[in-house]
Chains A and B, each alone.
Chain A
């Protein structure tokens, strides 16, 4: 059972995540967008969206730190356990509160503003639900586990993090997760599910962060499409370029 949950399931989810993106990128360029709803409603979005996005970016970086960097490394640069803990909790809480507040506002907006609600697909709803559960569970782990110390202290850096890094070494130790508090377990499971869902939602826009904009020339010039008309030729009927 624990192998199924903490070895097979994560790998299946991550495989879906990777392959799903490859597939969607090839299959559905046209659907690859943020699907912004700013046109419908602006006042709430102006606060909620940056709050949520900045918050979640910070949360992401926090996870990279917490899950990706082994405890021995931080100790090697002379950062004591207490300092690390204080830093993680303070920054993490601020980022978390931003994210949750932003998310609540965004969901409120989505539900109450008529046009925004009717532009919400079923996939959006599923995604919102899973995303919200992941975030709430994560927030709960921080508050209950690390601040209030409910149910005794748990150092995730010796448990969950080690397990997580095992994913990339193909060396998973399910017992590490089984020993973790329930909150962490659930957070991990739902997060994995979110990864599996990811390529099929609007979340794909994360991978289109347009950093190239900073370096490219302002105006893009492009020759007329080699592909004539607006549709791809039938397979086997592509044009041969006789001039080359």
Chain B
């Protein structure tokens, strides 16, 4: 047994209101640079829907993740190592920008500089790639809230998998949101596809990172990741991915997406796992057993044998204690309500989801019945095949039993707690019917519904003796490095080359922000220094030429 610690996340989908705050704050923190306009480390998809990039879940097409070869051994779906190297000159399965969207900004200048004319001047969209005027056809969230309308539904790869002929008729429609970040997999196929070995999993907390100095732009990881959560920075020519906000995690702060989540639905905590069993668990033959295999890889942090083994591996005491209090471990293994996203990709993803009960509740409520009554809900879970099968395709490789199980627990919690809220005695038979005690049910309710900040996020800080140098504490001046603040613009070899460049894993620093907001051009790619991107201009500072000069100020600047 080789115990390792992993920082993991659980999202409670019932609470997601699809506000995209997480995406926006993440973007502002990490990917508001030129070259990453189309990069969304965090995105929120409307399901049913195509996802981002479009149809990324169709692995027959994109060849992401792992598969079992003829001898039953685990192998990258895109092919073995030799094939991987042989296709290095033109990666055959890499999505192109059309599968994401062409980023754009608007020609705002026209609003102020247009001559007097009959019609109001307009700000035309301008491509951020070529600088040419363009027509907008798609974006990161073009199908937001459309939930598989007749034109879009057929292209949802998950819907396509559900066996029976589906006509999404009005009374069958359902919709929920699926926020996604990198899964920080236990068996990351992105890392396995990287020819340079630049993508690594940190031994301390399992966060998967791209070493920007080692990446050579072979872009194999983009094909390798089945969740398409590695992006290619088209300006620097390097791969970038979600960092799990490691500078924040290291000092005990939750990730930006969790911290700002409006629904407060994200949980962060450690899980301990047995690194020796990962490969074996990822190689089980039957896809439907992957969920259980993955659950079994996680170790019970309260088991003395596990604690002893963890200490032998050098995991600090406070980390083990944090693992024991971890909300993630509780949701996955104690209450067993969290499920991994697409376990059939065999990467052992570590962002887990509590499937939403709301489609079921909505369906019951629509019939005029009591949507909080356990019997009605249980009956509906069994009767409403489409949402349940859809959820099963997402979370359990198509096995409906575990999904039904979770939904019943959530339904039971709902009706049990309603009794309490109405001042009635709790009905002990309700928790019993889903195999839980009254006490556990109340605990689960507390974690899911009350969701106190310090219960949602149990993040052991990295070691205090190192703390002063960590990114987010910044007791050392952040501009205080060799070569001075040589930021903003590009070196002689393209965007961001040269020694003064703090690698873009760092939160956008003061100088870039300033350069971006005060640059006069509208991200004109011809001048390689352009940084203004009005698409994500945050309203602070005014790019030159955005507003006409105030009276008497003409001479300035």
Binding site for B on A (CB under 8 A): 24, 27-42, 45-47, 49-50, 52-54, 114-115, 117-119, 121, 123, 200-202, 205, 208, 210-214, 216, 218-224, 228-235, 239
Which of A29, A37, A202, A212 counts the most chain B CB atoms within 10 A?
Answer: A29
Complex interface: chain A residues within 8 A of B502 (CB): 230-231
A-B contact count (CB 8 A): 189
Would A123 and B481 be within 8 Å (CB), given that A30-B236, A218-B192 are in contact?
no
In B446-504, the 8 Å CB interface with A consists of: 462, 466, 469-471, 476, 480-482, 491-494, 496-499, 501-503
A–B Cβ pairs within 8 angstroms, 26 of them = A24-B493, A30-B501, A31-B494, A31-B496, A33-B236, A34-B237, A38-B94, A42-B90, A115-B129, A117-B130, A118-B131, A202-B237, A211-B85, A213-B196, A214-B81, A216-B197, A218-B191, A219-B201, A220-B194, A228-B466, A228-B469, A228-B470, A229-B247, A229-B469, A230-B247, A234-B480
Complex interface: chain A residues within 8 A of B212 (CB): 30
User: CB within 8 A of A28: which of B205, B247, B480, B498?
Assistant: B498
Complex interface: chain A residues within 8 A of B85 (CB): 210-211, 213-214
Query: Is A200's CB under 8 angstroms from B492's CB?
Result: yes
Complex interface: chain A residues within 8 A of B129 (CB): 40, 114-115, 118-119
Query: Is A31's CB under 8 angstroms from B130's CB?
Result: no
Query: Is A219's CB under 8 angstroms from B191's CB?
Result: yes
In B187-225, the 8 Å CB interface with A consists of: 187-188, 191-192, 194-197, 199-205, 212-219
Chain B residue at smallest Cβ distance from A37: B234
Query: Is A213's CB under 8 angstroms from B81's CB?
Result: yes
Chain A residue at smallest Cβ distance from B473: A229
Query: Is A33's CB under 8 angstroms from B89's CB?
Result: no
Query: Is B506's CB under 8 angstroms from A28's CB?
Result: no
Which of B92, B187, B238, B494 counts the most chain A CB atoms within 10 A?
Answer: B494
Give bound CA distance, A3 to B45, whole Å: 68
Query: Is B82's CB under 8 angstroms from A210's CB?
Result: no
Q: Shortest CB–CB separation between residue A213 and chain B, in angstroms? A: 4
In B293-338, the 8 Å CB interface with A consists of: none
Complex interface: chain B residues within 8 A of A234 (CB): 480-482
B91 at the interface (CB under 8 A from A): yes
Binding site for A on B (CB under 8 A): 81-82, 84-85, 88-92, 94, 96-97, 127, 129-132, 187-188, 191-192, 194-197, 199-205, 212-219, 232, 234-238, 247, 250, 462, 466, 469-471, 476, 480-482, 491-494, 496-499, 501-503, 505-506, 525-526, 528
Would A200 and B503 be within 8 Å (CB), given that A42-B96, A119-B234, A228-B466 are in contact?
no
Would A36 and B130 be within 8 Å (CB), given that A30-B496, A200-B493, A234-B480 are in contact?
no
Would A35 and B237 be within 8 Å (CB), given that A214-B82, A219-B192 are in contact?
yes
Query: Is B91's CB under 8 angstroms from A28's CB?
Result: no
Q: Shortest CB–CB separation between residue B34 and chain A, in angstroms? A: 11
Q: Shortest CB–CB separation between residue B516 and chain A, in angstroms? A: 18
Complex interface: chain A residues within 8 A of B199 (CB): 220
Q: Shortest CB–CB separation between residue A150 and chain B, in angstroms? A: 34
User: CB within 8 A of A213: which of B188, B195, B232?
Assistant: B195
